[in-house]
Amino acid sequence: MIGLKIASFESLEYLFSNNKGNYYCITFDESACGDLVKKNYSDNKIINIDLPSSKAWSDEKKVVSKTDLADLLRKKGVDSLVLDTHSSTYIEKWAEKQGIGLVVTPWKIQKKIENKIFFQKFLEKNSLPSPKSWILRNEKDVDFADTFPVIVQIPDSNGSKGTFFAKNRSEIKKLINSEKAPLPLLCRQFIDNGLPIGVSVLIGPEKMVFSGLRVQAYFLNANGTSVYYGIQWVKTSYFSKSVIKKLNSYLEKAGKALQELGFIGVANFDIIIRNNEIYFIECNPRLGGSTPQISFKKELLHGLNFGNEFAKVTCGGELSLNKRFIPDTSYQGFNLDLDFLADGHIDTEINTAKVGFYQPVSGGFVYASSKASDFEDDAIFIYHANPEKITISHNYFMGFSMTHRPLLNLRKNGYTFSVEGKKFLKQIENLIIGNDK
């Protein structure tokens, strides 16, 4: 296993770690997270790169090919590089040539698991429960769908992009003919009145560790599109012991099947629970919206340091513990995806809020600090990667806001925003849309 001197591209999983003093952080002069990096890392742990443009920051291929990053890493003695989400053939070849380990699930297996059609076959092969599904390879296959409504997905769909709701066969055919959903497609039964949850499983060669549970907050519009608001962590005690036992059993089965495929890293499972029945939906094998909070709140991962454990298994080592059960946690924080603003403010120009930690004031929030140690109690965290004024669009990631407070009222098979949750959404909207500081 590599010596594990780790550097990341401003990764929150490492910035929020209580061991962040052991890590290096890669940044650039115009970064929206510049103050955040400077306040949380010592000067000798910061690696500043000279980008051809700020837009290149979102493309890790450009970062490694257009800068002297490899030389800078070697000067610091760094041997392991954390990738934000995906690997790629290009980056893996670059890393091998430079003698640098990649803290990420290998691209070949990552791409395979993210493919919705492959994953559905994986579920069926391993007798893991899932909604009734059909693979549509041509328009005639639509006639096999006999349960409606359905969810239609392109194989490489991401979040709500490439995912569609259809009430009947004619709507599926209309999607195909409009070229919004090119064949082949996964078509699966829509599980109504269910609770969509997520759980992360950190997977090593032999061991596994399960995270706490979170609700995936999707709201369906009248036109069939959905708006993703983010995730809310849920007390383990909210679920019955029988549901937790069933989840533990299925997750262990899924984890073992992934290990047999050679998977290592973090597998984020999307699951629906309805009337105590469990349905696997998909798996996202990468860092995501849940992992910064798993890093910040160690109770969500049996007290383990997520960043260290993730780096160990992706660089040839093994997990410290084998915890094949959901931890008993009471954390209820929310990670609000700011893309929800696009639903009502498309093309609206915003004044970019400062990345950092905000404190509540009468009627809203005010910037207070860039130090991660200040993220306590009623403080919220605003994150984005937009260095200049922009207009709201579906074409790029707006960022997110993290709070330690719950925003949803949960019921057996669903959820609604609480009064406080609706107030919070309005305050964030005012901060992001109306911010002039």
In CATH, the architecture of 195-314 is 2-Layer Sandwich (3.30)
Q: Where in the chain is the domain with CATH 3.40.50?
A: 6-104
Residue with tokens 């995270």: 211
pLDDT of residue 2: 47
Q: How far apart are CA 198 and CA 18, in angstroms?
A: 24
pLDDT at 344: 75
DSSP for 216-285 reads: EEEEE-TTS-EEEEEEEEE-GGGS-HHHHHHHHHHHHHHHHHHHHTT--EEEEEEEEEETTEEEEEEEE-
pLDDT digits (tens, 9 = 90+) for 317-374: 999 999 999 999 999 999 999 988 887 777 777 767 899 999 999 889 999 999 999 9
Longest Cα–Cα distance in the chain: 62
For the whole model, what pTM was predicted? 0.95
Backbone φ, ψ for residue 90 (5° rounding): -60, -50
Average the pLDDT over each of 69-83, 360-374, 381-395 and give the range with the smallest value: 381-395
Alpha helices by DSSP H, 149-240:
169-178
Which pLDDT belongs to residue 4? 78
CATH number of 132-189: 3.30.1490.20
Give start-end residues of each CATH 3.30.1490.20 domain in the chain: 132-189
Residue 193 near residue 177, CB atoms below 8 Å? no
Kindly tell me the sign of the dihedral angle through the C-alpha atoms of 94, 97, 103, 104. Answer: positive
- Residue intervals of the chain classified under CATH 3.30.470.20 are 195-314
Q: Which residue has the higher pLDDT, 190 or 432?
A: 190
pLDDT digits (tens, 9 = 90+) for 369-387: 999 999 999 999 999 866 5
Residue 141, helix vs strand vs coil: helix
Percent of the chain surpassing pLDDT 70: 95
Q: What is the pLDDT of residues 160-179, one digit of tens each?
A: 678 898 999 999 999 999 98
**Which of 11-15, 62-66, 246-250 has the lowest average pLDDT?**
62-66
Output the pLDDT for position 436.
42
Which fold does the domain 6-104 belong to in CATH?
Rossmann fold (3.40.50)
- Residue 161: its pLDDT value, please? 76
